[in-house]
Amino acid sequence: MESLILVLVGVLVAVATYLILSKQLLRVILGTAVLSHAAHLLILTMGGLKKGDVPLLGESEGPYTDALPQALILTAIVISFAVTAFVLVLGYRAYKTNGSGNFDEMRGTPDE
């Protein structure tokens, strides 16, 4: 199971990289979102996917699934959401002020 998910993570990372190397601002942000999904899945998989019960004490006698990666991912999800939201609004502003979302047209001022 783990190997399958890790190959899937590889596919997600490849797709994310491809998107990040795009010309369009929106696609780059899409790429970062895909990359964070890949990272979260990777953390979960590396923690081990062996069947255990939901890590809730009252629900069963155990053994439980490893709870630590889940806590880490939860933190990571919130942080990546904050960053994605920020970058999206930044992109939105870039559209508004520059009138373009194309990286080839957003290269700063030419050298003096």
Site for another protein in 38-77 (CB under 8 A): 38, 40-42, 44-58, 62-68, 70-71, 73-75, 77
| Residue with smaller CB distance to another protein, 77 or 112 | 77
| Cβ pair 68, 47 in contact under 8 A | yes
- Written as six digits, the tokens of 20 are 């990040």
Residue 22 near another protein by CB under 8 A: yes
In three-state form (DSSP H/G/I as H, E/B as E, the rest C), the secondary structure along 15-40 is HHHHHHCCCEHHHHHHHHHHHHHHHH
The site string for another protein over 89-108 (x = CB under 8 A, - otherwise) reads xxxxx-xxx-xxxxxx--xx
- Written as six digits, the tokens of 109 are 């001022």
CB of 112 to another protein, least distance (A): 13
| Residue with smaller CB distance to another protein, 107 or 112 | 107
In whole angstroms, give the CA distance from residue 44 to residue 50.
11
Residue 32 near another protein by CB under 8 A: no
CB of 40 to another protein, least distance (A): 7
Q: How far is CA 25 from the centre of its chain?
A: 16
Residue 33 near another protein by CB under 8 A: yes
